[in-house]
Amino acid sequence: MPDLKRAAFFDVDGTLVRTNIVHALAFYAMNQGSILGTAWQTARTVLSVPMFMITDRVNRKTFNELFYTYYAGQTEDRLETLAEDLFEDVLQPAIYRGTPQLIAEAKRAGCRIVLVTGALDFTVRRLAEHLGADDLIANKMRFVNGVATGRVVPPIIEGAHKALVIRDYCVRNGVALEKSFAYSDSFSDYPMLAVVGHPAAVNPDLRLARVARAYEWPILTTKEE
Amino acid sequence: MREPRSLHRFYEATEQIVTIDRDSPPRVMFCGEDLLVEDLPIGTKVIYPKPPVQGLPNVKAAIRRAINNPHGCDPLHALLKPGMKVTIAIDDISLPLPPMRTPDVRQQVLEVILPLLSDSGVDDVHLVIAVCLHRHMTKDEMKRMVGPAIFDAFYPDRYYNHDAEEPDGLVTLGTTAHGEKAIINRRAAESDLLIYVNLNLVPMDGGHKSVGTGLTNYEGVKAHHTPHHIRHSHSYMDPDRSEMHRSVDRIGKVIDGALDVFHIETTINNRMFDGPLDFLMKREEAYTELDRLKVTGMRAALKHLPAAAKRKMFQAVPAAYEVIAVAAGKTEPTHAEILKASWDQYAVDVDFQADVVVYGMPFISPYNVNSIMNPLLVQVMACGYFHNFYRGKPLLKKGGTLIIAHPCSDAFDPVHHPSYIEFFHRLLAETRDARVLEEKYEREFAENPTYVHLYRTGNAYHGAHPFFMWYWGENGREHMGKIIAVGADNAHVPKLMGWDTAQTLNEAIDMARSIHGRSAEIAMMHFPPISMTQNLG
C-alpha cells in the first residue's frame, strides 16, 4: 500500500483568527461606495444581528443560507476588490498570535495545510495565501452576470458537510484521513474533528471543551500572549 | 521504641535491613496518595534508607570554595572577561522530589555566581532551564526556583525554558564515532562560556548528561533513549554499567571539545520528610505513640479526601533536603566527586537477591510535579527507577515477582501529559513491545504538530516522551517474571500494562509464593525516601 500523505484541516473563524463571517459582512456593508448605500446596508446588518444569533442557535445551515442573502445584488468585481482591504484592515490584525506557529508546526510535520471554512471564498482567499495554506475549502457565492445572487453553490460548507468535503478532499488528493489532523474552536465542527485521526480543540467554546475532555482530545490555545 | 531483646535485634535497629519477626510491627507504605499499614510475612527483609547525611553548614561558602577551586580548569572568576556572552543552564523541576524548600540550591548557586559575573563586566547573561523534552516550567515555578530577585531581573527575556522544537534554536556541534549527533541549544552553543548548574538527585543525573541531554532536541535524545540502550544498562543509576551513559558520555565529549563548559554540581541528602510527616523517615520499630497516632489520623483523613485534594496536600509540602556536596569545574572530575557523595547517601549494602520484591509506590515521580501520577508514570517508577536503584546485582532475582501497591487509576493530566493519553489508550492496546512501538509510532508522536504546539506554548511533555517512559521500564520488564499490582481501582490499567492484580498484599504474596514456593525470599524496599541497594558480591 502506498504511503499516503497527511493533511492538517483548520477551521478559520475563532480558530486561526478572532473574527467571524459577520465581520466580513459588516465590512462590506460599511463600504458600499455611497453614503446612502453604506448607511442602509450598515443599518440593515446591525438590525439583523439578533436574528442571526437566533437562527445560528436553531440551525447553522439556515443561518448560513439567510446570512448569504445579504450579499445579493453586489457585483463580483466589487467583492473581490474589497477583499484585499478586508484582509488588511480586518483579518490580518485579527490573526491569533499562535496561529503562524501552529501552521508552521503542521508544515514541518509534512502536512498539507487546508483551511475549511463556512466563509465565502473571496473573503478568506488572501488570508489563506498569507498563512501559507495549500488549499482552501470555502463556500462559493453564485454569481449571475457578475452579480451575487445571495445563494451559495451547494453543498454549503458547514457542520457535517465539512466532514464530507474533508473525506472527498482526502480521496481526491491521496491523503490518509487517519493520519490527518483537524483543528476547530466550535462544537458545530464536531463532525470535522471526529472524521480525522488526530482531532484537537483550539480555543474551544464550552460545548467543544466538554467534548474534548470527554474524548481526551488535546486542547490548544492560539490566542494567548 | 521497643527494647531490643538481643544483640541481633539491636543490630537490626541500627542497620538498614530489618528482618520481619513474629513480633514485628506492621510496615507503613505508600499506595499512591494513600498509606497502607501491612503485616509482612516472617522472614521478609525490609530495606530502609540510610539516615540523612549531615547537610553543609554554609552552602554558599561551599559554592564559593567549589568555583574557586574547580576540577581541571581555572577558577570561575579567571574564566570571565568583560563583554563576554555567558549562558547559565539550570536543571528543571523534575528534581528534587518533592521540590525542596526555598531557597532552592539553584537559587543559592545563582546568588553566588551572578554578582561575580556582573562584577567581571559580564552583562550578556541568559538563564536557560534545561528541560529538553520535559514540560516547560510555569512562571510561578520558575520564580520559586530562583527566587523573586533573580526572577524579576531576568524573566522573561533572559530567563526562559529551553525550546527543543524551535526551528533555528539548535546547533549541531559534531558527531561521535558512533554516529550520535551532539545537538544543543543555539544560545548555549554560541556563548563564550556555558555554566551548568546541576542538582544531582540520583546518580543517573549530572555529568555529560546535563548539557548533552538537557539542552538538546528529539534527535539528540533519540541517540540513547532507546529500548536497546535501556536493555543494556545494568543499571542506569550506575553510569559505569549503563549503555545509555556510554552514549551520553560520547556526546558530552564532543560538546566539551567544542565549547567551554563550567559545571557546578550539587547533591542533597535524603531528608524528604520532616515536621508532621517525619514518621515517614523512621523505621516502624522506632515509632512513638505519637507517630502511630499520626499514621492512624492521616490514613483516616486520606480515606475521605478526593484524589485531587490528596495530591494537592502531598505536593504542597516541600522537602527538607539539605545540600551535602558542591563541586565545580570540568565535566568528569566534577561529576565523580558528586557521584561519590550521592552513593554515600543512598547505597545500602545487601548480600542477597530476593524472589519477591515489594514496593509501596509513592505519589510523585520526576514527571508529575504538580500533576497526576498517571499509569505510565507508575510503570516507569516501578519497572524503571525503583528497579534500577541498584549497583552490582539487582535486588530482585531474574524472573522474580515484583509486587507494587498503587491504585493505578486511569487518570491523566491533559495539560502536562496529552501525548501519554494517546500512547496509553491507543498504542498499548495494540502492543507492549518497546521495539515495535519505537519503530512504528515514536516519530509520528514526536512530529505530531498538536503535541509540538502544546510542548512549545503550554506545559506539556513532548510527544515522544511517553515512549521514553515506556523504554525506561524495559530492563525491569525484561528482568521481572511477573508484576502484581495491589489495590488497583480498575482492571483495565493493569491489564494494558501486562500486570496481574490482587486485592491485598497478602493475596499478592500468596500468588508470588505459588510461583516461587513457600520458602521464597521476600524483600521490601521502604521507599521513599530514596535508597539504592549495592550488591557487589
The total of structural domains in chain A comes to 1
A10 reaches B (C-beta below 8 A): no
Q: Looking at the predicted structure, is the pLDDT value of residue A19 above 90?
A: no
The per-residue pLDDT for A78 is: 87
CA distances from B505 to A14, B26, B41, B297, B384 (A): 53, 12, 10, 22, 21
Region A62-79 average pLDDT:
83
The per-residue pLDDT for A20 is: 75
Task: Read off the pLDDT of residues A93-130 as tens digits, 9 standing for 90 and up.
Answer: 999 999 999 999 999 999 999 999 999 999 999 999 99
The per-residue pLDDT for A30 is: 65
For testing contact with chain A, the best of B424, B441, B453 (most A CBs within 10 A) = B453
> Could A224 and B457 be called an inter-chain contact, meaning their C-beta atoms sit closer than 8 Å?
yes
A198 reaches B (C-beta below 8 A): yes
Dihedral sign from CA coordinates of B146, B150, B156, B159: negative
Cell triple for B60: 554558599
Cα separation, B302 vs B289, in Å, equals: 20
Q: Which residues of B touch A221 (CB under 8 A)?
A: 457-458
Nearest to A218 among B418, B425, B447 (CB): B418
Q: Which residues of B touch A183 (CB under 8 A)?
A: 450
Compute how many other C-beta atoms are within 10 angstroms of the C-beta atom of residue A146: 11
Q: Is residue A1 part of a domain?
A: no
The per-residue pLDDT for A57 is: 66
The per-residue pLDDT for A64 is: 75
Compute how many other C-beta atoms are within 10 angstroms of the C-beta atom of residue B248: 27
Q: Which amino acid, one-letter code, is at B202?
A: V
- Looking from the CA of B227 toward its CB, the CA atoms found within 13 Å total 15
The per-residue pLDDT for A42 is: 73
Cα separation, B427 vs B408, in Å, equals: 18
Cell triple for A218: 488535546
Cα separation, A86 vs A80, in Å, equals: 10
> Could A108 and B449 be called an inter-chain contact, meaning their C-beta atoms sit closer than 8 Å?
yes
The per-residue pLDDT for A159 is: 86
* Distance of alpha carbon B492 from the chain centroid: 27
Q: Which residues of A touch B444 (CB under 8 A)?
A: 179
Block mean pLDDT (10 aa), chain B, length 537: 53 77 96 96 97 97 98 98 98 95 97 98 98 98 98 98 97 98 98 98 97 98 97 96 98 98 98 92 94 96 94 93 98 98 96 97 96 98 98 98 98 97 96 98 97 97 98 97 97 97 98 97 96 93
Tell me the residue range of the domain where A74 lies: 6-220
For testing contact with chain B, the best of A105, A181, A216 (most B CBs within 10 A) = A105
**What does the DSSP 8-state code read for residue A177?**
G
The per-residue pLDDT for B10 is: 52
Q: Is residue A225 part of a domain?
A: no
Query: Which domain CATH number covers A184?
Result: 3.40.50.1000
Q: Which residues of A touch B456 (CB under 8 A)?
A: 101, 105
Q: Which residues of B touch A224 (CB under 8 A)?
A: 457
Please say whether the beta carbons of A196 and A182 come within 8 A.
yes
Task: Read off the pLDDT of residues B426-483 as tens digits, 9 standing for 90 and up.
Answer: 999 999 999 999 999 999 999 999 999 999 999 999 999 999 999 999 999 999 999 9
Query: Higher-confidence residue: B431 or A20?
Result: B431
H helices, E strands: number in chain A: 9, 8
Beta strand segments in B469-531, E: 482-486, 500-502, 522-525
Residue found by looking up cell 501552529 in the block: A102
Q: Looking at the predicted structure, is the pLDDT value of residue A53 above 80?
A: no
- Looking from the CA of A44 toward its CB, the CA atoms found within 13 Å total 16
The per-residue pLDDT for A1 is: 47
> Could B450 and A98 be called an inter-chain contact, meaning their C-beta atoms sit closer than 8 Å?
no
What is the bridge-based pairing of β-strands B170-175 and B181-185?
antiparallel
CA-nearest of B442, B450, B432 to A184 is B450
Q: How far is A176 from chain B (nearest CA, A)?
A: 14
Chain A residue with minimum CA distance to B412: A216
SS3 for A33? coil
CA-nearest of B107, B149, B112, B111 to B129 is B107
> Could B447 and A110 be called an inter-chain contact, meaning their C-beta atoms sit closer than 8 Å?
yes
H helices, E strands: number in chain B: 23, 20
Q: Which amino acid, one-letter code, is at A126?
A: R
Nearest to A101 among B425, B448, B453 (CB): B453
B414 reaches A (C-beta below 8 A): yes
CA distances from B503 to B38, B403, B404, B506 (A): 13, 12, 12, 9
Compute how many other C-beta atoms are within 10 angstroms of the C-beta atom of residue B177: 7
Cα separation, B113 vs B109, in Å, equals: 6
**What does the DSSP 8-state code read for residue B319?**
B
Please say whether the beta carbons of B355 and B43 come within 8 A.
no
Question: Mapped to the 3 state alphabet, what secondary structure does B217-286 carry?
Answer: CHHHHHCCCCHHHHHCECCCCCHHHEHHHHHHHHHHHHHHHHCCEEEEEEEECCCCCCHHHHHHHCCHHH
Task: Read off the pLDDT of residues B286-327 as tens digits, 9 standing for 90 and up.
Answer: 999 999 999 999 999 999 999 999 999 999 999 999 999 999
Q: Is residue A67 part of a domain?
A: yes
> Could A108 and B425 be called an inter-chain contact, meaning their C-beta atoms sit closer than 8 Å?
no
**What does the DSSP 8-state code read for residue A175?**
B
Q: Is residue A197 part of a domain?
A: yes
A101 reaches B (C-beta below 8 A): yes
User: pLDDT confidence of A225, banded at 50, 70, 90?
Assistant: low
CA-nearest of B439, B419, B445, B424 to B492 is B424
Q: Is residue A141 part of a domain?
A: yes
Q: How far is A112 from chain B (nearest CA, A)?
A: 12
